């Protein structure tokens, strides 16, 4: 009879446990093992009929393929859903002076979502991918924070509520996949461990790739989906952080683009010039005194006025108030603060 040294790869898919585990139990129960306490284990060679083994590997191969295609299918569905939601987001968060828009509410919502770092953390203590347990906690925090701030009830467009539900569902689906892969990974390593304990064949060290494959698969999926979420969906709603002046940390109203390409708000650029400071605070390039009115980046200026109208207005009033005080003294009041009194 032909014989083969046995290797075991076993996967559990969803909540169905395949009979490979039974197969494995039958194999290891029938195999001879050293049982004398204190004695070094005798290395055993397990012989199984080739037909039996081939059947085993075929089943195993099938399960791996099912798992992979399941993953591919799930990822494809998620990618499609994110694209569809991104298209809808264009209308929901469209900047408009005259029509109803949820631009500010979506911005706040995505800002909280980015803060939550549901699937990946950039904190020093827990840097990297999260496991399903901590991802679930972060997602819960995100949802409770949204509720606490009353963002959903303040949506002006009914379609925004539906879009929010879809956004949460995308996250839940990704979380479910992460959990599913973790269960597979635990199952694989437990089975290989049990197998090694009984046979001393070192299957765990021979198949680290197999144990790691479930982790890699879920990490790859989480990375791909999260990057699409931020690149395609969240980018539809520009965040304030990306348009802040690096000196005063408020919006770069009237943005001055230096020759080094860095942008400062006009107020900070003028302050530096008055102090005769020559060097860019970010790159130390000798650019500040060379800047003039031509350095105003009108494209970014229009973008800021369009997407951040409230912040731009507040900054304009603050800058104009400062100039007014310089010209007319501390008692100067900006026209927006003065009340008309009808006699
Ligand atoms: Zn500034
Ligand atoms: Zn610079």
Q: What is the pLDDT of residues 178-203, one digit of tens each?
A: 888 888 777 777 776 776 777 676 66
Ligand having the closest approach to the CA of 270: 1
Ligand having the closest approach to the CA of 252: 1
pLDDT value at position 240? 93
* Strand partners of residue 4: 48
Distance 286 CA to ligand 2 centre (A): 8
pLDDT at 63 over 80: no
Ligand having the closest approach to the CA of 262: 2
Other C-beta atoms closer than 10 Å to the C-beta of 267 total: 21
Other C-beta atoms closer than 10 Å to the C-beta of 10 total: 24
Distance 241 CA to ligand 1 centre (A): 13
* pLDDT tens for each residue of 1-23: 333 333 333 333 333 333 444 44
pLDDT value at position 44? 53
Distance 128 CA to ligand 1 centre (A): 33
DSSP string, 252-290: -SSEEE-TTS-EEEHHHHHHHHHTT--B-TTT--B-GGG
Ligand having the closest approach to the CA of 265: 1
pLDDT value at position 177? 87
Lowest mean pLDDT among 69-78, 135-144, 213-222, 305-314: 213-222
Distance 244 CA to ligand 2 centre (A): 15
Mean pLDDT score of the chain, rounded to an integer?
80
Ligand having the closest approach to the CA of 261: 2
Distance 252 CA to ligand 1 centre (A): 6
Q: What domains lie within the chain, and their CATH numbers?
A: 3-237 (no CATH), 241-328 (3.30.40.10)
Ligand having the closest approach to the CA of 258: 2
Distance 255 CA to ligand 1 centre (A): 9
Distance 142 CA to ligand 1 centre (A): 31
DSSP string, 210-235: HHHHHHHHHHHHHHHHHHHIIIIIGG
How far is Cα of residue 152 from the mean position of the Cα atoms in its chain?
A: 21
Report the share of the chain in percent with pLDDT over 70.
Answer: 73
ipTM of the prediction greater than 0.95, yes or no: yes
Q: 59 with 18: CB under 8 angstroms? A: yes
Distance 327 CA to ligand 2 centre (A): 31
Distance 305 CA to ligand 1 centre (A): 16
Ligand having the closest approach to the CA of 318: 1
Ligand having the closest approach to the CA of 247: 1
* pLDDT tens for each residue of 317-340: 999 999 899 888 888 888 888 765
Looking at residues 227-249, what average pLDDT do you find?
93
* pLDDT tens for each residue of 10-61: 333 333 333 444 444 443 344 334 334 444 544 555 555 545 545 655 665 6
Whose tokens are 């972060």? That residue is 138
Distance 330 CA to ligand 1 centre (A): 22
Ligand having the closest approach to the CA of 315: 1
Q: 298 with 304: CB under 8 angstroms? A: no
């Amino acid at each position: 009879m032909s014989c083969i040294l046995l290797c075991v790869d076993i996967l559990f898919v969803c909540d169905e446990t395949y009979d490979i585990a039974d197969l494995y139990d039958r194999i290891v129960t029938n195999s001879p093992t050293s049982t004398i306490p204190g004695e070094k284990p005798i290395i055993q060679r397990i012989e199984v009929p080739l037909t039996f083994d081939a059947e085993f590997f075929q089943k195993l191969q099938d399960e791996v393929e099912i798992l992979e295609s399941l993953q591919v299918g799930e990822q494809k569905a998620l990618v499609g859903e994110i694209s569809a939601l991104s298209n809808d987001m264009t209308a929901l968060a469209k900047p408009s002076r005259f029509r109803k828009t949820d631009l500010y509410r979506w911005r706040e919502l995505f800002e909280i979502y980015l803060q939550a770092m549901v699937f990946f953390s950039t904190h020093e203590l827990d840097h990297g991918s999260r496991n399903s347990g901590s991802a679930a906690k972060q997602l819960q925090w995100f949802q409770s924070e949204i509720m606490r701030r009353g963002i959903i009830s303040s949506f002006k467009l009914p379609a925004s509520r539906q879009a929010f539900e879809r956004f949460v569902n995308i996250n839940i689906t990704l979380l479910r996949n992460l959990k599913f892969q973790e269960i597979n990974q635990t199952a694989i390593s437990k089975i290989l461990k049990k197998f090694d304990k009984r046979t001393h064949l070192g299957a765990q060290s021979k198949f680290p790739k197999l144990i790691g494959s479930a982790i890699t698969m879920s990490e790859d999926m989480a990375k791909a989906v999260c990057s699409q979420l931020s690149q395609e969906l969240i980018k539809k709603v520009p965040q304030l952080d990306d348009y802040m002046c690096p000196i005063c940390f408020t919006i770069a109203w009237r943005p001055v683009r230096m020759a080094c390409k860095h942008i400062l708000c006009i107020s900070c650029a003028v302050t530096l010039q008055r102090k005769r400071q020559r060097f860019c605070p970010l790159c130390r390039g000798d650019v500040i005194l060379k800047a003039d009115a031509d350095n105003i980046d009108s494209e970014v200026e229009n973008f800021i006025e369009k997407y951040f109208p409230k912040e731009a207005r507040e900054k304009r009033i603050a800058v104009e108030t400062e100039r007014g005080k310089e010209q007319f003294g501390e008692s100067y009041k900006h026209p927006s603060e003065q009340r008309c009194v009808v006699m």
